[in-house]
């Protein structure tokens, strides 16, 4: 069988052993595990289509489908351990020919090529990790929104340049992350998954086929919405992988920035957050340590899609616009680990957000000590008739004077009291709670503002969940239709 596999008619001998080991491996077992179930799903749809179009009679289609089913039941044991001198597909096709004869086994590849088969297989393989990533991302957003509602009144400082800036709330911060995560989810659902909904099968090697096939039928049986309309585009393009890696890379940036905030806030110097024992690690040497190391995993895992994007884009760059191994095989091979990594980063992020407990007293002390109400004090002076730039200068000078006098402990009170006779309202107007309550414009941390943002994001979240469920239903219905069509051909032969 090996010799027959190596002789293509045009080429009498296969690859030399060293090259074969690098390209195809010693056996096809790894490829069987990763590819062959979905490949046979494509085969079943193709056989059904050929039969309905009169290109393959039922008496030959039925044995093909029956053998494919038998191989799937045995988990392809008949193919395992065999040498694959020209790759998985030809090893598998040769077994079909060996069992059914050339007239039947050799008819499977009518009207198609390994090029359109490979492009279709790639999109089918991307479905599960892409859908899983979206599902995990929506779970993270749900937890962020839930915790944002819970912590609307927990005052803390917002930071710019790592310096205390303005008083916000922990709920406000969480809602902000939820908004960014929501955009990342929409990028997947609007910009990536639609790409995966077009089926390349039917494009052949690069120029279509003269057989009167029905690509729309095979697309539907495999759960796609439509076939790809252009044969060169169908086999040349792997931009769906680039778009997916790009979206995953941007998501990774969001997660890494979130993780950095949480890491800093969990230090004893800040003391804003505490993680339960199940989400921290100890030291092999230092008994006092409670390391929030999962957040460092988030940072590292979230970076992998960026590297994978560069690899895939560079492998495709300046390659011919046709089927090419550099772009379509080697270049996109990095995507699987990248998708696993970013999905794991999302899951770890969700666990941390779900179980982290804020320390309201420490957060409030920091917001007070950093005099985060200073901007509102300047605003109050502006309301009293002082031009804002002058008010800004006066408050800044008062802060500098108080600090020079060693007044950091009571900085907020000292500076506020120095302007008491010039304010239209009393000093309570620049308390942290008053400042937060007043900043309801521009998406600020006032509870009414944050609740509105949460409500809008929640509505978008429900829409995304519903659309994801519609995709799942389409895939299930396609699988059921294919099973029914396969069964009907077997029954007709009997």
* Separation between Cα atoms, residue 127 and residue 185, nearest integer Å: 15
Count of C-beta atoms within a 10 Å radius of residue 17: 10
> At what angle are helices 37-52 and 88-100 packed, to 10 degrees?
50
**What is the reported pLDDT for 27?**
62
**What is the reported pLDDT for 491?**
87
Please compute Rg for the chain using Cα positions: 31
**What is the reported pLDDT for 3?**
46
* Separation between Cα atoms, residue 280 and residue 131, nearest integer Å: 29
* Separation between Cα atoms, residue 421 and residue 417, nearest integer Å: 8
* Separation between Cα atoms, residue 353 and residue 151, nearest integer Å: 12
The two beta strands, 163-169 and 198-199, are unpaired
**What is the reported pLDDT for 277?**
94
**What is the reported pLDDT for 44?**
98
Backbone angles phi, psi at 472, to 5 degrees: -60, -45
**What is the reported pLDDT for 9?**
56
Would you say the C-alpha torsion 55, 61, 67, 73 has a positive or negative sign? positive
pTM of the full structure: 0.92
By the 8 A CB rule, do 110 and 213 touch?
no
Q: Kindly give the confidence (pLDDT) of every residue in the chain, 494 residues in length, as a single tens digit, with 9 standing for 90 and above.
A: 444 455 555 555 566 566 555 556 556 799 999 999 999 999 999 999 999 999 999 999 999 999 999 999 999 999 999 887 778 998 999 999 999 999 999 999 999 999 999 999 999 999 999 999 999 999 999 999 999 999 999 999 999 999 999 999 999 999 999 999 999 999 999 999 999 999 999 999 999 999 999 999 999 999 999 999 999 999 999 999 999 999 999 999 999 999 999 999 999 999 999 999 999 999 899 999 999 999 999 999 999 999 999 999 999 999 999 999 999 999 999 999 999 999 999 999 999 999 999 999 999 999 999 999 999 999 988 988 899 999 999 999 988 988 888 767 778 788 888 887 777 666 677 889 999 999 999 999 999 999 999 999 999 999 999 999 999 999 999 999 999 999 999 887 66
By the 8 A CB rule, do 296 and 279 touch?
no
Q: What is the SS3 assignment for the chain?
A: CHHHHHCCCCCCCCCCHHHHHHHCCCCCHHHHHHHHHHHHHHHHHHHHHHHHCCCCCHHHHHHHHHHHHHHHHCCCHHHCCCCCCCCHHHHHHHHHHHHHCHHHHCCCCCCCCHHHHHHHHHHHHHHHHHHHHHHHHHHHHHHHHHHHHHCCCCEEEEEECCEEEEEEEHHHHHHHHHHHHHHHHHHHHHHHCCHHHEECCCCCCCCCCCCCCCHHHHHHHCCCCEECCCHHHHHHCCHHHHHHHHHHHHHHHHHHHHHHHHHHHCCCCCCCEECCHHHCECCCCCCCCCECHHHHHHHHHHHHHHHHHHHHHHHHCCCCCCCCHHHHHHHHHHHHHHHHHHHHHHHHHHHHHHHCEECHHHHHHHHHHCCCCHHHHHHHHHHCCCCHHHHHHHHHHHHHHHHHCCCHHHHHHHHHHHCHHHCCCCHHHHCHHHHHHHCCCCCCCCHHHHHHHHHHHHHHHHHHHHHHHHHHHHHHHHHHHHHHHHHHHHHHHC
């Amino acid at each position: 069988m090996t010799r027959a596999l190596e002789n293509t008619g045009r080429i009498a001998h296969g690859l030399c052993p060293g090259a074969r080991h690098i390209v195809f491996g010693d056996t096809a077992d790894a490829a069987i595990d990763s590819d062959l179930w979905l490949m046979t799903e494509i085969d079943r749809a193709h056989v059904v289509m050929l039969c309905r179009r009169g290109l393959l009679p039922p008496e030959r289609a039925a044995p093909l489908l029956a053998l494919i089913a038998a191989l799937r039941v045995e988990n392809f044991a008949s193919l395992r351990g065999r040498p694959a001198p020209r790759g998985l597909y030809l090893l598998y096709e040769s077994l079909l020919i060996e069992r059914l004869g050339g007239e039947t086994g050799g008819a499977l590849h009518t009207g198609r090529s390994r090029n359109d088969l490979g492009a279709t297989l790639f999109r089918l393989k991307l479905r599960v990790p892409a859908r899983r990533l979206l599902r995990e991302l929506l779970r993270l957003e749900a937890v962020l929104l839930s915790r944002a509602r819970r912590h609307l009144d927990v005052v803390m400082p917002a930071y710019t340049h790592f310096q205390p800036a303005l008083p916000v709330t922990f709920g406000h911060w969480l809602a902000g992350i939820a908004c960014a995560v929501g955009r990342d989810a929409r990028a997947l659902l609007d910009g990536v998954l639609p790409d995966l909904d077009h089926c390349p099968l039917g494009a052949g090697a690069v120029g279509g086929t003269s057989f009167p096939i029905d690509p729309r039928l095979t697309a539907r049986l495999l759960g796609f919405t439509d076939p790809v309309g252009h044969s060169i585009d169908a086999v040349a393009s792997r931009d769906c992988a680039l778009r997916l890696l790009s979206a995953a890379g941007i998501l990774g940036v969001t997660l890494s920035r979130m993780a950095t905030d949480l890491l800093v806030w969990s230090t004893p110097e800040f003391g804003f957050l505490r993680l339960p024992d199940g989400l921290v690690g100890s030291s092999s040497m230092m008994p006092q340590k409670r390391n929030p190391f999962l957040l460092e995993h988030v940072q590292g895992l979230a970076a992998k899609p960026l590297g994978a994007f560069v690899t895939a884009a560079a492998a495709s760059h300046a390659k011919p616009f046709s089927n090419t191994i550099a772009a379509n095989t080697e270049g996109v091979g990095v995507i699987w680990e990248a998708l696993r990594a970013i999905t794991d980063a999302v899951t770890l992020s969700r666990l941390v957000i779900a179980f982290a407990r804020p320390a309201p007293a420490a957060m409030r002390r920091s917001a007070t000590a950093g005099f985060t109400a200073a901007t509102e004090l300047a605003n109050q002076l502006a309301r009293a008739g002082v031009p804002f730039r002058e008010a800004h200068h006066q408050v800044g000078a008062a802060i500098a004077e108080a600090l020079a006098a060693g007044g950091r402990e009571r900085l907020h009170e000292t500076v506020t009291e120095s302007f008491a006779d010039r304010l239209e309202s009393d000093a309570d107007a620049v308390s942290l709670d008053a400042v937060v309550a007043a900043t309801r414009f521009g998406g600020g941390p006032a509870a009414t503002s944050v609740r509105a943002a949460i409500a809008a994001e929640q509505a978008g979240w429900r829409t995304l969940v519903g659309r994801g469920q519609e995709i799942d239903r389409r895939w299930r219905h396609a699988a059921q239709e294919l099973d029914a069509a396969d069964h009907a051909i077997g029954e007709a032969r009997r």
